[in-house]
Structure 1
């Protein structure tokens, strides 16, 4: 390229540029970009720019990323097309700045202002204020972060992020007898490991994610786990639970389960360190079809149907505290009694969706939210579809995803707390899923 450029052989320069475009990958990216800049190859430079935006997470893993100039770093940080969350971009900006802090600390603030700070999680913004000298020693940086936090709602604990983390929604498909992961940003489906035949035969009923494992419980209480990040991993059968039709949640390294379709006041806890289930203190209320969720370091049993001939739904909320091993009733009840609902939680609070109103004999579209700050329940905008019983929900990047329920097994609906709107985001063609077992994993 140097010789062709010096001899003004433009057609040869163009041919070399086309070759370099075709050969562009994360390893060749940095040299190709240098060539494009040095010899003023505008089209090749644009190709490199687009490659950097689309393959950001791959190029940042190279040591050569630290040698990029301020202009290109600014371009990556500011562009809305960069395929990375704001937290990931910020984490890499900090690493780039610290690589030559004497030369780069002066431009850090101007680069920080390129971010959409309100799109970062509150926990990561708090982490920055508490742990990053580049921010807490700068009045202007603290001002920017403080304003962004005031523009957000709720409270959160301090938590770092993994720049390589990509959360995906996982369903269990009866048709292919495999798990499938869904990237909610790219709207792509990827087949994962097969489902063990014993799990299919015993009917998968509930699933949770804990650390690097997916745990599943079948109708009869048989219990299995899979290390999902290992492509060749096999399902392991763990100690079975005595719970039938169990609904489960994960909290602080344990799995908690209750009986869902049976009237019961029993809760069990699974400890992976010794592969044992243990019976906990009984709940006060004997209910069926309760929603179960972990939030604020506690386990919440929400609504459900009372035992007896009337079998009326309730709006009561019972809370288990693992520290004291005690149950208590929430001071505030749901606005509407329901059973067969589903609950999930974010950093901001608990969402309870759908369910069944026995009095009206109708499936609900109603959604309620319990703020972790005010501890009170409020009605949100309803879902697009009524759902009850055989459906589930999970959270990805603070958005709530709901799948299945009441004749909508192939329908995924999402709630955005920022816009306070629900929308149908995806369908699942050709799949017959276990609707109570949808989970979110980090890849």
Structure 2
């Protein structure tokens, strides 16, 4: 400005706008002495002045000073300042600090001054550190009530990021449902309905809001039950869980008195059922995930193996199978409250080793073996309201020893010694091929966890089991190998539950 041929070099008085006198004084002191005292009062304008004059050493010193001042009462303000001035490192540290101290941060004035998008950025995060989800709900409602007329229209959008299904049922009834704003917001009713259904049905009902935040000590894990390593090999008694986020495997209570094979496994609420098995077993066991123990419950009416189980609207259905002589059309329904199995309408076609899952309020039985030599391409759909079966669009390949899961009102099928993963839309009654796995396998495990589909183990064409874990993301249609199982296994059960981690996240 002064040493080159600029206009200012010819003027007696140069006016510099937008800088406080105090800031200019501190800045000049630094320029001439190389020293300046940075304080909470001057750091902001000293930073802005050093940025304007491109004195990077002083600018960085101010940013470092702000990092050291982070506190629940000021971190959001410093984060906004960092965002304005493109200080990526400071911004990241502020956000991490606010996520880890959210309970304290949400009590301060700065929290109530967040805009909607800034608030959503925090409450949608899996990394949010809280003791329980109730704290997120209360923080959101405090924010809304701060400027209720202005923020009332935003309530539904905000509550879609609060995990209402994970609130304690008593709290949900006594606090959430009676809130006047929520009662007068019809668009929130669907979120309330989802939470009520989850309180009744448990993990049968999955959505982004049913996934626990890791800081609460809970995580969504895949439990692998039993299986065997090879044809004619020993049946394994192991029950082990896999956490896809950490990649860790942990051992749970072993299957009791278990030398059977080709049994069926499913999750009921947050527990696990195992039924039947070779030869003609009627035994049914429940794994209590809270106590980590297995409990024997009412036996099946008809012994079977090579059958499948699925949960539909809070009840367990045992479907088809083999009794050593013929395939079974028999279907039994278990009510855990009465501890009773009752016969319901039989399958239209008796099959063993089909894929079975529930979706949009109905049960779907896909493929399977009607006899020793043939495979079925039929899709049989059960409606519990009418206690009747209908045939739907056939699967593109006739296979047995396949597995199915449902996610986002679609059904995904893998196995049957094919590489293909097929997807079925039960509303449109339409099948499509979505992806290939890396090798052919059958009798693999399949489970939905954290919004993705995992395919675990299975038997290859040579009869040997595999220990691979594949992850299919429906959002991108990409399949990747993510882990190895503790041992190769096939004919095993795979389910997803919420598990409490003894070593939960702590600051």
Alpha-carbon distance in 2 for matches of 1:197, 1:111: 49
1:101 and 2:153 matched: no
Matches within 5 A, 1:180-329: 180-184=240-244, 186-199=245-258, 201-203=259-261, 205-219=263-277, 220-228=281-289, 230=290, 232-241=291-300, 242-245=302-305, 246-262=307-323, 263-307=327-371, 311-329=373-391
TM-superposed CA distance for 1:409, in Å, is 3.2
1:161 and 2:223 matched: no
1:50 and 2:87 matched: no
Equivalent residues of 2:367, 2:376 under 8 A apart: yes
Equivalent residues of 2:282, 2:303 under 8 A apart: yes
TM-superposed CA distance for 1:191, in Å, is 2.2
Aligned residue for 2:106, secondary structure, equals helix
Equivalent residues of 2:241, 2:252 under 8 A apart: no
Alpha-carbon distance in 1 for matches of 2:75, 2:380: 64
CA 423–120 in structure 1, closer or farther in 2 if over 3 Å, else same: farther
Partner of residue 333 from structure 1, selected from 394, 405, 409: 394
Equivalent residues of 1:303, 1:337 under 8 A apart: yes
TM-score by length of 2: 0.60
Aligned residue for 1:288, secondary structure, equals coil
Task: Name the counterpart of 1:427.
Answer: 484
TM-superposed CA distance for 1:305, in Å, is 2.0
Partner of residue 409 from structure 1, selected from 446, 458, 466: 466
TM-superposed CA distance for 1:439, in Å, is 0.6
Task: Name the counterpart of 1:65.
Answer: 106
TM-superposed CA distance for 1:334, in Å, is 1.3
Alpha-carbon distance in 1 for matches of 2:313, 2:157: 36
TM-superposed CA distance for 1:255, in Å, is 0.8
Greater CA drift, 157-166 or 284-293: 157-166
Task: Name the counterpart of 1:153.
Answer: none
Aligned residue for 1:282, secondary structure, equals coil
CA 132–367 in structure 1, closer or farther in 2 if over 3 Å, else same: farther
Equivalent residues of 1:173, 1:431 under 8 A apart: no
TM-superposed CA distance for 1:249, in Å, is 0.7
Task: Name the counterpart of 1:399.
Answer: 452
Task: Name the counterpart of 2:495.
Answer: 439
CA 76–180 in structure 1, closer or farther in 2 if over 3 Å, else same: farther
TM-score by length of 1: 0.68
Equivalent residues of 1:204, 1:437 under 8 A apart: no
Q: Deviations over 1:20-57 (max 9, x none)?
A: x9xxxxxxxx99544889999x999976643444x4xx
Structure 2, gaps ≥5 residues long:
1-38, 41-63, 83-88, 166-180, 189-204, 214-218, 230-235, 500-507
Matches within 5 A, 1:13-32: 32=71
Aligned residue for 1:50, secondary structure, equals helix
Alpha-carbon distance in 1 for matches of 2:404, 2:253: 28
CA 163–76 in structure 1, closer or farther in 2 if over 3 Å, else same: farther
Q: Deviations over 1:331-368 (max 9, x none)?
A: x211221121111111231112121xxxxxxx211222
Equivalent residues of 1:391, 1:403 under 8 A apart: yes
1:379 and 2:443 matched: no
Aligned residues: CA RMSD: 4.7
Q: Deviations over 1:103-137 (max 9, x none)?
A: 4565899999999x9x999x9xxxxxx96978969
CA 398–321 in structure 1, closer or farther in 2 if over 3 Å, else same: same
Alpha-carbon distance in 2 for matches of 1:257, 1:410: 27
Aligned residue pair count: 371
Task: Name the counterpart of 1:126.
Answer: none
Equivalent residues of 1:243, 1:257 under 8 A apart: no
Task: Compare CA radii of gyration and give the structure with the larger one.
Answer: 2
Alpha-carbon distance in 2 for matches of 1:113, 1:326: 39
